[in-house]
């Protein structure tokens, strides 16, 4: 399949796996952008030969320019450089895999160029869902989910023509590395404990989000926007095996599920190839040896971040931006060793109660809410 692709966040977990898919499926990496990982970016450029490489960190970009002096690759730096990659004329497709609210502007820039946007940056929709989706319609950009749960929902909804037939969306949740622990035990969780995630190799921020279950809460909000479903019609079920990636329950009580081995390369590939399916690098699911599948209820007392996110989803407006900004601030403090694991939900709750959510927000309202939330967590 001949796609020319920009990967925003190419040195992160989703970015690295995207490059594997791109190479395996014979597609072209047109531009790569990342934050500051010079060493890996140089390696990726030499291997995948994009025309443009951008690093958000100016010093890192200057270093990369020297390292790639023997090639014809253009090296760009700063937010300008990342935006140049996001809007790169040669690319028809963008994989938006930057982490956090920082991904919003580049993702919007790609949308405004009418690109096919494969979205892995869930914070973009959590903070500014309605605005981003409106712009996608205005500029004729198509958005396809990369997150495994949302890719599963997308596949379970494919035959559906009338959303009125959908009773609810059900997101599966692995339960995180601290599944089964009570609050007293969670209070003693250290940064090192939180970064030992059993299932996937992910960046530090999303690893902590997976441990607090905030990641699942952000995913509920992402699904709400992507599939235009009210928060009340989205449920979370704990499924430890991560074989079923999510389900749709229809009004006749039929449930459609999507199954697969826990391998991000499959949802990444489907976002790139939809509506086609092609052989790719993801590992097949061995149903005969995968063991029993289990289902349970999430413990929202031990993991209040999920409850806070569900509440913010119901509130709507800027509540998503407040929740996300407070969470990004609190997780950074936890990773710096300044606060405890249970202080993350406490700080998010405080921000949500202190800052009033604005309905039908403008982009400025969203940026203001994000800023106020970061200040509220200190």
Chain residues binding Mg ion by CB under 5 A are 147, 149
CB of 293 to Mg ion, least distance (A): 18
The closest residue (CB) to Mg ion is 147
Q: HSE of 80 in the Cβ direction (CA atoms, 13 Å)?
A: 5
CB of 171 to Mg ion, least distance (A): 8
Buried b (16+ CB within 10 A) or exposed e, 148-184: bbbbbbbbbbeeeeeeeebbbbbbbbbbbbbbebeee
CB of 343 to Mg ion, least distance (A): 24
Angle of helix 122-138 versus helix 214-226 axis, rounded to 10:
10
Closer residue to Mg ion (CB): 213 or 357: 213
Q: 66 — alpha (psi -120 to 50), left (phi > 0) or beta?
A: alpha
Farthest-apart Cα atoms in the chain, separation: 63
CB of 193 to Mg ion, least distance (A): 21
> How far is residue 208's CA from residue 202's CA, in Å, rounded to a whole number?
10
Closer residue to Mg ion (CB): 113 or 147: 147
Closer residue to Mg ion (CB): 170 or 367: 170
Closer residue to Mg ion (CB): 147 or 299: 147
CB of 122 to Mg ion, least distance (A): 8
Q: Shortest CA distance to 152 belongs to which of 244, 262, 268, 18?
A: 244
Q: Given the structure tokens 């140089």, which residue do they identify?
A: 42
CB of 243 to Mg ion, least distance (A): 14
CB of 101 to Mg ion, least distance (A): 18
> How far is residue 230's CA from residue 328's CA, in Å, rounded to a whole number?
24
CB of 147 to Mg ion, least distance (A): 4
Closer residue to Mg ion (CB): 225 or 347: 225
Closer residue to Mg ion (CB): 88 or 179: 179
Closer residue to Mg ion (CB): 272 or 369: 272
Closer residue to Mg ion (CB): 123 or 149: 149
Q: Shortest CA distance to 146 belongs to which of 107, 194, 185?
A: 107
69, 91 in Cβ contact below 8 A? no
CA 226 to chain centroid? 13
> How far is residue 7's CA from residue 30's CA, in Å, rounded to a whole number?
8
> How far is residue 208's CA from residue 330's CA, in Å, rounded to a whole number?
10
């Amino acid at each position: 399949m001949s796609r020319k692709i920009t990967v925003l966040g190419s040195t992160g977990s989703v970015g690295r796996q995207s490059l594997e898919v791109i190479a395996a499926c014979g597609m072209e990496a047109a531009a790569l952008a990342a934050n500051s990982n010079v060493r890996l970016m140089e390696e990726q450029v030499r291997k995948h030969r994009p025309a443009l490489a951008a690093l958000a960190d100016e010093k890192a970009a200057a270093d990369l320019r020297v390292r790639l002096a023997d090639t014809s690759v253009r090296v760009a730096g700063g937010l300008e450089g990342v935006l140049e990659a996001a809007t790169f004329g040669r690319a028809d497709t963008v994989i938006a895999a930057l982490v956090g609210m920082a991904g919003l502007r580049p993702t919007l820039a790609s949308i405004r160029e009418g690109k096919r946007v494969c979205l892995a940056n869930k914070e973009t929709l959590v903070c500014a869902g309605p605005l981003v989706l409106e712009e996608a319609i205005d500029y004729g950009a198509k958005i396809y989910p990369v997150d495994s749960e949302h890719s599963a929902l997308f596949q379970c909804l494919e035959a559906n023509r009338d959303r009125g037939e959908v009773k609810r969306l059900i997101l599966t949740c692995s339960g995180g590395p601290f599944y089964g622990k009570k609050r007293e035990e969670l209070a003693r969780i250290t940064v090192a404990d939180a970064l030992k995630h059993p299932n996937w190799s992910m960046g530090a921020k999303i690893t902590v989000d997976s441990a607090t279950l905030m990641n699942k809460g952000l995913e509920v909000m992402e699904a709400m926007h992507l599939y235009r479903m009210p928060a009340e019609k989205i449920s979370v079920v704990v499924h430890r095996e991560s074989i079923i990636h999510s389900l749709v329950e229809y009004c006749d009580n039929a449930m459609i599920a999507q199954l697969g081995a826990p391998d991000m390369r499959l949802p990444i590939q489907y976002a790139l190839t939809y509506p086609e399916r092609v052989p790719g690098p993801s590992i097949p699911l061995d149903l005969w040896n995968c063991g029993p599948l289990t289902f349970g209820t999430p413990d929202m007392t031990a993991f209040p971040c999920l409850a806070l996110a569900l509440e913010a989803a119901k509130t709507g407006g800027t509540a998503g931006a407040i929740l996300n900004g407070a969470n990004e601030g609190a997780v950074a403090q936890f990773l710096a060793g300044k606060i405890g694991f249970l202080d993350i939900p406490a700080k998010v709750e405080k921000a949500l109660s202190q800052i009033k959510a604005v309905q039908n927000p403008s982009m400025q309202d969203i940026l203001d809410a994000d800023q106020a939330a970061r200040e509220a967590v200190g």
